[in-house]
């Protein structure tokens, strides 16, 4: 017997999915996360899998894990102390950034302080020109002076980001070798190795974030490997990546930048799997955990990808699943400002002390407490019995807000929920405008521990007609790690025209990327299955300031079909901007190659159809839409294919609670997903 285990660690719970490869049966579990001791919840969860389901460590043939260690280090500014070595006279790159105000409507707004402050950015005499030629050789004396000063400043690592190193990395590599001779224990990070993109700020900022989190991530993954080995798990642990793929934990120690957004990406990949299973081609995923709500667009089971996603206060320019994060989660704290305004989040109670109703010492009201006061949760233990809901503690916490608002207890609790929904409505509206979509054409796929509680409420505000609830919504991110493919991205700078004269160079550059991608998946990852190469190019019209990514076909590149390549660019430009100029010369800025190794996809059997109507567990009193109502409470485990549900109602399961307000009707499909439809 062999199991595939997926783990995702959030702000409140660590989620586990265990897939029996022989039967296709999926077992799920939640344990409280331990942010003060990262990794301990993984070992605790493995113990629970054994005691609950009889899954032994030696039965685990595949283990994948999403971690927040990297992103938390950036958000909390708990990475290592870095110095940046930059080309002489170009030391202000992080301070200048892109000269954009963080809030254009607030004239006194300030950008966040860089992770490497100006006093720790040191000049090195060298200069490479834009075409890659050496204008001034690297000066070892200048480099040694910078290193000596960095040691005085207490540097724990050095980032090398020299001008135009994306074109010619020789100076960064030479400096790295010299520093290794002079200070063997000093970690050194070359921007040309981290992500060799063309723009100085983007490359430097990305390398800085990588260097900032690499040591703590490496320590965490080393401890995880040791703990799993001690527990008897022989499988090499995999980690989920920001691009929706997976890689070995060993590689993650050096390629930690690739896993900064692993948890959010895994959730979107899991949502894409469910969307395909349920036959929904246009999906807006809504992942609400204890700390935040994450929204993504999924079309035909494939998420939208992008670069420049924000990690805390800073953009990171590696390819990632495009996710919009909103500071409203189940543990988001509600407060009343000095002006009498009710706010929810972004501060969260997390797992320690957690919402007041968890009885773990929390005293401040959260969104979870609001749902408890309204009677929607509290009809049994939650989080697989990890937490017992204390309604009295929830009421005491919400009372602190109700008094300041001059409202009754239930009215204040519902106001907390409404404020959270309004914040999500605003951010989803922004996302829809940026992407040019109409949310009313999409199905809202709600998951995470709090997603099914809020999904219908948000959909109703957005005018969305359909809400899809997966069978195990509270642990869908862990499932996403199980179904994620082995995947990596490679990039190379081109910066030449798309012309017949440059086609041999174009083909040779792509060939080098293909060789790197093939070596990565076959040698570094030791992947034995089938894989595909997906080429793309960043192109623009001659004279434009910014480029767009254009998917290409390998056969076009091999055949040197310049016309097909140019036509793909014109078509993409027209799709994005509504116009194109086929007569204008095209410039190739960067070349990209994605390698994808297909992971086994679980095949869940269709359920038999039920002819009898569902039986509620009991009738409960809930405060919903401004009034107390008597509604049926269903156990999700008792619902099956063909069951039809009227509203309002509440459905409880081990990993979440589903709140269905008036106006929706529900149906259970052959795979146990619940599709809720807003009545006309």
| pLDDT tens profile 368-403 | 999 999 999 988 777 677 788 999 999 999 999 999
CB 334 within 8 A of CB 419: yes
Check residue 330 and give its pLDDT. Answer: 85
Instruction: Compute CA distances 155 → 146, 151, 634, whole Å.
Output: 11, 6, 58
Pairing of strands 656-660, 644-645: unpaired
Pairing of strands 121-124, 82-87: parallel
CB 259 within 8 A of CB 314: no
What is the distance, to the nearest Å, from the Cα of residue 510 to the centroid of all Cα atoms in its chain? 29
Could you say which of 3.40.50, 1.10.287, 3.30.1490, 3.40.1000 is the CATH number of the domain covering 486-597? 3.30.1490
- How far apart are the C-alpha atoms of 493 and 523, rounded to whole Å? 24
- How far apart are the C-alpha atoms of 305 and 322, rounded to whole Å? 5
Longest dimension (CA), the chain: 84
For the chain, the domains span: 3-74+217-228, 77-215, 334-418, 486-597, 618-678
Numbers of helices and strands, H then E, in the chain: 17, 35
Nearest to 457 by CA among 408, 398, 410, 414: 414
- How far apart are the C-alpha atoms of 462 and 433, rounded to whole Å? 13
Using CA atoms of 269, 270, 274, 277 in order, give the dihedral in degrees to the nearest 10. 70
Nearest to 520 by CA among 491, 492, 494, 490: 490
Check residue 11 and give its pLDDT. Answer: 66
List, as one string, the DSSP characters of 471-536: SSGGGHHHHHHHHPPEEEEEEEEEEEE-STTTHHHHHHHHHHHHHHHHHIIIIIS---S-EEEEEE
Nearest to 678 by CA among 473, 456, 470: 456
CB 555 within 8 A of CB 534: no
Instruction: Compute CA distances 368 → 336, 350, 354, 431, 595, whole Å.
Output: 17, 11, 10, 26, 41
Instruction: Report the run of H or E that residue 440 belongs to, with start and end.
Output: none
Nearest to 404 by CA among 415, 389, 417: 415
- pTM of this structure: 0.88
Check residue 1 and give its pLDDT. Answer: 58
Check residue 606 and give its pLDDT. Answer: 87
Nearest to 476 by CA among 337, 619, 308, 270: 270
What percent helix, strand, coil does the chain show, rounded to 5? 35, 30, 35
CATH of domain 3-74+217-228: 3.30.420.40
127 SS3 class: strand
Check residue 293 and give its pLDDT. Answer: 85
- How far apart are the C-alpha atoms of 66 and 240, rounded to whole Å? 5
- In sequence order, the β-bridge partners of residue 298 are 283, 303
- How far apart are the C-alpha atoms of 536 and 541, rounded to whole Å? 16
Please give the structure tokens belonging to residue 448. Answer: 């995470």
List, as one string, the DSSP characters of 289-355: -SS-EEEEEEETTEE-EES-EEETTEEE-S-EE--EEES--TTEEEEE-TTS-EEEEEEE-TTTT--
- How far apart are the C-alpha atoms of 215 and 220, rounded to whole Å? 9
Check residue 439 and give its pLDDT. Answer: 94
N residues, the chain:
680
What confidence tens digit (pLDDT) does each residue in 249-287 have? 999 999 988 988 888 889 999 999 999 999 999 999 999
All residue ranges of the chain with pLDDT < 50 are none
- How far apart are the C-alpha atoms of 7 and 29, rounded to whole Å? 10
What are the residues whose beta carbons fall under 8 Å from the beta carbon of 96, sequence distance 6 or more?
Answer: 201
CB 282 within 8 A of CB 304: no
Pairing of strands 188-190, 157-161: parallel
Please give the structure tokens belonging to residue 109. Answer: 């707004």
Nearest to 490 by CA among 524, 526, 530: 524
The residue written with tokens 């080098």 in the block is 512
């Amino acid at each position: 017997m062999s199991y595939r285990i997926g783990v995702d660690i959030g702000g409140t719970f660590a989620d586990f999915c265990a897939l029996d490869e022989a039967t296709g049966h999926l077992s799920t579990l939640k344990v409280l996360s331990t942010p003060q001791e990262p990794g301990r919840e993984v070992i605790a969860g493995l113990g629970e899998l054994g005691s609950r389901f009889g899954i032994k460590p030696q039965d685990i043939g595949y283990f994948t894990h999403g971690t927040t260690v990297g992103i938390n280090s950036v958000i909390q500014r708990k990475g290592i102390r870095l110095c940046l070595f930059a080309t002489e006279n170009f030391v202000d790159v992080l301070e200048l950034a892109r000269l954009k105000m963080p809030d254009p409507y607030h004239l006194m707004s300030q950008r966040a302080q860089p992770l490497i402050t100006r006093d720790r950015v040191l000049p090195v005499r060298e200069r490479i020109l834009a075409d890659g030629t050496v204008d001034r050789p690297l000066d070892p004396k200048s480099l040694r002076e910078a290193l000596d000063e960095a040691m005085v400043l207490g540097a724990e690592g050095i980032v090398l980001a020299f001008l135009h190193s994306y074109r010619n990395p020789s100076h960064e590599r030479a400096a790295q070798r010299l520093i290794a001779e002079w200070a063997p224990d000093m970690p050194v990070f070359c921007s040309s190795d981290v992500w060799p993109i063309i723009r100085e700020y983007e490359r430097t900022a990305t390398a800085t974030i990588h260097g900032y989190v690499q040591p703590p991530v490496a320590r965490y993954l080393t401890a995880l490997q040791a703990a799993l080995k001690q527990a008897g798990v022989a499988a090499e642990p995999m980690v989920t990546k920001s691009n929706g793929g997976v890689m070995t934990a060993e590689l993650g120690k050096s390629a930690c930048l690739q896993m900064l957004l692993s948890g959010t990406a895994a959730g979107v990949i899991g949502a894409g799997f469910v969307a395909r299973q349920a036959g929904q081609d246009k999906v807006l995923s809504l992942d609400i955990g204890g700390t935040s709500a994450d929204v993504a667009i999924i079309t035909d089971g494939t998420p939208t990808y992008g670069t420049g996603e924000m990690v805390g206060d800073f953009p990171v320019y590696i390819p990632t699943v495009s996710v919009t994060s909103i500071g409203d989660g189940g543990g988001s704290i509600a407060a009343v400002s000095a002006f009498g305004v009710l706010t929810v989040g972004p501060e969260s109670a997390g797992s320690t002390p957690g919402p007041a109703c968890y009885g773990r010492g929390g005293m401040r009201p959260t969104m979870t407490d609001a749902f408890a006061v309204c009677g929607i949760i509290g009809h049994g233990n939650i989080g697989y019995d990890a937490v017992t809901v204390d309604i009295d503690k929830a009421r005491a916490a919400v009372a602190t807000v109700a008094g300041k608002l001059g409202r009754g207890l239930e009215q204040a609790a519902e106001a907390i929920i409404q404020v959270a929904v309004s914040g999500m409505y605003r951010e989803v509206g922004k996302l829809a405008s940026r992407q040019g979509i109409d949310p009313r054409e999409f199905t809202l796929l709600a998951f995470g521990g709090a997603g099914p509680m809020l999904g219908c409420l948000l959909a109703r505000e957005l005018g969305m007609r359909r809400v899809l609830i997966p069978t195990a919504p509270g642990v869908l991110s862990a499932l996403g790690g199980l179904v994620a493919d082995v995947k990596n991205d490679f990039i190379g700078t081109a910066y030449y025209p798309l012309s017949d004269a440059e086609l041999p160079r174009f083909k040779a550059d792509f060939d080098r990327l293909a060789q790197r991608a093939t070596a990565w998946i076959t040698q570094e990852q030791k992947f034995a299955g089938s894989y595909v190469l997906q080429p793309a190019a960043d192109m623009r019209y001659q004279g434009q300031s910014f480029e767009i990514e254009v998917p290409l076909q390998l056969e076009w590149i091999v055949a040197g079909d310049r016309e097909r390549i140019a036509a793909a660019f014109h078509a993409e430009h027209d799709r994005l901007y509504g116009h194109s100029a086929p007569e204008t010369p095209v410039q190739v800025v960067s070349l990209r190659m994605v390698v994808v190794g297909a992971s086994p996809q679980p095949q869940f059997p269709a359920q038999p159809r039920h002819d009898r109507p569902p039986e509620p567990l009991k009738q409960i009193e809930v405060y919903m839409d401004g009034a107390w109502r008597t509604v049926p409470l269903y156990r999700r485990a008792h619902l099956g294919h063909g069951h039809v549900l009227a509203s309002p109602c509440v459905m409880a399961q081990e990993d979440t609670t589903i709140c269905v307000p008036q106006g929706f009707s529900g149906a259970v499909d052959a795979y146990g997903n619940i599709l809720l439809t807003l009545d006309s």
